[in-house]
Amino acid sequence: WKYINQDMVEEVIDNYFAAGMPLETMYLDIPYMKSYKDFSVDTKAFGLAKRLHDANQKLVVILDAAISADDVNDDVYQKGSTELDIFIKSSMYKSKTYNNNIISKVWPDKAVFIDWFNPKSLDFWTYDLVDYDGIWIDMNEPTTFGHGEIKPDDAEPVTPTLAKKRLMSDDGETVDWYYEFKDQSVGSTFTLPFIPGYVQSDDGKPGPYNGNFDYMTLSLNSTIPSLGETSYNVHSLYGLMMAKRTFEHVTKMEAKRPDERPYILTRSTFASSGRYASHWLGDNWRKWEYMRYSIAGVMMMNIFGIPLAGADICGFIGDTNPELCARWHHVGAYYPFSRNHNNWGQVA
C-alpha cells in the first residue's frame, strides 16, 4: 500500500509492461481516499480507471469497515447516523453529539461502525465514486487502533456503576486493572467464565491481552441495534455480514454490466464467506517460513469453502530480498488468488 498518487501507480503499470510481465488488476489501498475516509476520492491523485479499462485491465479499490466520525456534519456520517441510524451503539456512554454511537479510532481518526445485520445498511453502501471492477474490504474483524471505545466529550455514563478489579499473574503480582459492571443485565466482556489469562511477552513485559477481549477491537459489550445483541455474541460474524452486504450491492450494480461478475476480497471470514467473497491471508512477514505457511493457509481456506484465496506474495511486513521474492512468485503463481502486496517504506 501507499501509492500516494496516480503517477506512482502508472509507473508501476509501465514497469510491468516494460518487463513483459502480465498485469491483470491494480489494487488501490486507502491513500486513494481523502484523509482515509470511506466514500471519498482524492481526484487530484487518482483517476486512472479509464487507462486500465482501455488496456483491458481491472481496478479494485479498498473500503474499510470504519466510517469517519471526525465531522458529525459530514454527509456520509449523517446518512448513517441520522437518516438511517445504522451504527453500532455504545453500552458504556450516552452521547447526544454522536447519537449514542460507539466511537473508536481507526485510519480516519474517530470512527463508527455499521450494523451490517440491519437491512438498511445496504441503503448506506451505495456510493459509487470510482469506476471500479471489484471491492476489497478490510479492517472488518472489526479492527481498531484502540481498545474498546473512546469516551465522547459530552458522554454521560450509563446507569450501572463500575467496580474496579485486579487481574493477577500466576505469581500473585498485579499486572492490570479492569472494570466490571455491577448490574450484570448490561453485560460486560470482563465477567465471562473464561477470561484470557496473564500473558508475558518475549521482552518480559506484560502481554497485550491480560483479560481484555477489547484489545484492538470494539467493546464487545457494545450493542448491535437491529439484533438487540451485544457485539460479543456476534463478533465473529461481522466480516461475513459486511461481505454479504457488499456482495448484494455489487450484484445490483453489476446488473448494469451483465457480462461482469461481482468480485469482493475480504480479510475477515466466517462459515459461508466463500459465497460472497475471496480472501487473502492478511498481513504476513517477508520470511521464508511465512511463504511455507501460506501453502497450508490457502489449502485450509479451500477446505473452509473459500476457493479463491492467497497470501501477499513476497510478504507484507519487513524488507524482502531478491531470492525470497523470486521463489515466492513461483509459489504465488499457483495461488488461486495471486497478488503482490507490500507495506509502505520497506524493500519490496
Lowest mean pLDDT among 88-92, 196-200, 273-277, 342-346: 196-200
- Is 314 within a domain? yes
- Is 141 within a domain? yes
Q: Are strands 229-230 and 223-224 parallel, antiparallel or unpaired?
A: antiparallel
- Is 126 within a domain? yes
- Is 198 within a domain? no
Burial class (CB in 10 A: 0-12, 13-18, 19+), 323: exposed
Spatial contact of 223 and 89, defined as CB atoms under 8 Å apart? yes
CATH of the domain at 86: 3.20.20.80
Please tell me the predicted confidence (pLDDT) of residue 169: 55
Q: Return the C-alpha cell found at 223.
A: 450493542
- Is 201 within a domain? no
| CA distance readout (Å), 256 to 248, 251, 291 | 14, 9, 40
Among left, alpha and beta (phi > 0; psi -120 to 50; other), residue 62 is beta
What backbone torsions phi and psi does residue 3 show, to the nearest 5 degrees?
-70, 110
Output DSSP code: residue 273.
Answer: G
- Is 41 within a domain? yes
CA distance 207 to 10: 43
What is the span of the domain harbouring residue 231?
A: 6-147+226-340
- Is 292 within a domain? yes
As for how many domains the chain has, the answer is: 1
- Is 83 within a domain? yes
Spatial contact of 55 and 26, defined as CB atoms under 8 Å apart? no
Q: Which of 75, 131, 229, 283 is catalytic?
A: 283
Output DSSP code: residue 2.
Answer: -
Confidence of residue 42 (pLDDT cuts 50, 70, 90): confident
Q: Which of 138, 149, 214, 312 is catalytic?
A: 138
Please tell me the predicted confidence (pLDDT) of residue 288: 97
Check the CA dihedral 143-242-61-309 and report its sign: positive
54 catalytic? Reply is: no
229 catalytic? Reply is: no
Confidence of residue 244 (pLDDT cuts 50, 70, 90): very high
Global pTM value: 0.87
Q: Return the C-alpha cell found at 52.
A: 486500465
Spatial contact of 336 and 307, defined as CB atoms under 8 Å apart? yes
Confidence of residue 4 (pLDDT cuts 50, 70, 90): confident
CA distance 96 to 3: 38
10 catalytic? Reply is: no
Residues 45-71 have pLDDT tens digits of: 566 888 899 999 999 999 999 999 999
Spatial contact of 58 and 130, defined as CB atoms under 8 Å apart? no
Q: Return the C-alpha cell found at 249.
A: 450491492
Q: Which of 64, 141, 149, 312 is catalytic?
A: 141
Residues 90-105 have pLDDT tens digits of: 988 899 999 999 999 9
Spatial contact of 114 and 80, defined as CB atoms under 8 Å apart? yes
Percent of the chain clearing pLDDT 90 (strictly above): 61
Q: Return the C-alpha cell found at 313.
A: 506474495
